[in-house]
Structure 1
């Protein structure tokens, strides 16, 4: 193997206080999160993940679900959503493991379904001490498709200059692991869902170094 391609959310990091800033913003206005908005939120997310609307438009759409129309309040709500997204906690051993893999000569890439800009994600990774390790980052917003569409994996492989047989995909959801397998990549699962099917499973992120050497 010459390279590894990673999912990002709930694989490299998680959010311990999901939505806390936006909840606090709504509380100031005497409101709470409304589950009745979930379908409309998902619809906006669907568009954002495919690059059909911008990061800013996506967040404004969420704020406007609460009938907020004042420009100043819209901007405050959008900033609360940005702050929530940036409040990431990295899994134990992520930075050390990625740095070790990079030092061993592996090419490293990310394939992420996201409504966040790549610059924002890179800022999070810089805080974690590994923003500089990536040879490829493919975003669903930029390419217009989400996993498990084969083209998103193939885009990462092209940027890395690798064939599918030369790369491992590291993920946690079954659909993304299946998508990687369908294009010919070996798969490793971490923090995985109960139904996840992979070639190899690891319980700790630090186990990845040994696992990739064996697959």
Structure 2
């Protein structure tokens, strides 16, 4: 059965952050502070990150926790939130992504986003539009913070399938994480690993290295 919907992850699939945390680093430097290592921040704020992805706490509260962990004083938090948002919005499309997804859409394929993120749909779509992805490209955008579910929970993908009114074998999911992809495959959805720098086939997923290969996989 031909695919009717392509569901895509966001970070390192649709876009990259060419200068991660650049605005935060500059802001911390103004207070004579050094940025903490991302893995240290991730470990310290694991519970808060889980909660914000599921919409249990606000993005503002999560950002305040990040800024405070870096050592910023209370009065620096309001502007600090805008700094973190600026870093989140500073994205660059993966080569060929815009053109290929438009071609797929014009060929009748529904293009959708599935993101574990603290950012609401409107912000995400606006940043993508600013980066060159037309706003009307997206048939559907699912963000974990808004639906209260995260990938690879089967319930997350059930929402996508019900919204699209299609069967599992009519949907293809493009992601980066092999563990997530393996669980997606167990649900009957075809998992595709976007690995431009990794030629190995790991975890039973199909591997693509470019958007040209995605086009061939979907329509070839």
1:18 aligns with 2:23: no
Q: TM-score, normalised by structure 2?
A: 0.89
Aligned residues between the structures: 213
| 2:36 is aligned with 1:34 | yes
Matched, 1:77 2:80: yes
Aligned match of 2:94 in 91, 96, 103? 91
Instruction: Identify the residue that residue 130 of structure 1 maps to in structure 2.
Output: 134
Structure-2 residue corresponding to 1:169: 173
Q: Return the offset for 1:91.
A: 0.5
Q: Kindly tell me: are residues 66 and 210 of structure 1, through their superposed partners in 2, closer, same or farther at Cα, counting changes over 3 Å? A: closer
CA offset digits 1:139-185 (Å, max 9, x no partner): 11122222111111111111111111111111111122122212111
Matched, 1:210 2:216: yes
Q: Matched residues in 2 for 1:109 and 1:37: separation?
A: 30
Match of 2:11 in 1: 9
Alignment gaps of 5+ in structure 1? none
Q: Residue 120 of structure 2 aligns with which residue? A: 117
CA contact (8 A) 2:95 2:211 kept: yes
DSSP-derived class of the 2:80 partner: helix
CA distance in 2, matches of 1:159, 1:104: 20
After superposing the two structures, state which structure 1 stretch, 188-197 or 164-173, moved more: 188-197
Counterpart position of 1:51: 55
Answer whether contact 1:137 1:156 (CA < 8 A) is retained: no
User: Match of 2:77, SS?
Assistant: helix
Report the aligned-residue RMSD.
1.8
Give the whole-Å Cα distance in 2 for the aligned partners of 1:103 and 1:54: 37
CA contact (8 A) 1:188 1:198 kept: no
TM superposition shift of 1:117: 1.8
8 Å contact kept, 2:182–2:205: no
Q: Tell me how far apart the structure 1 counterparts of residues 89 and 104 of structure 2 sit (CA, whole Å).
A: 25
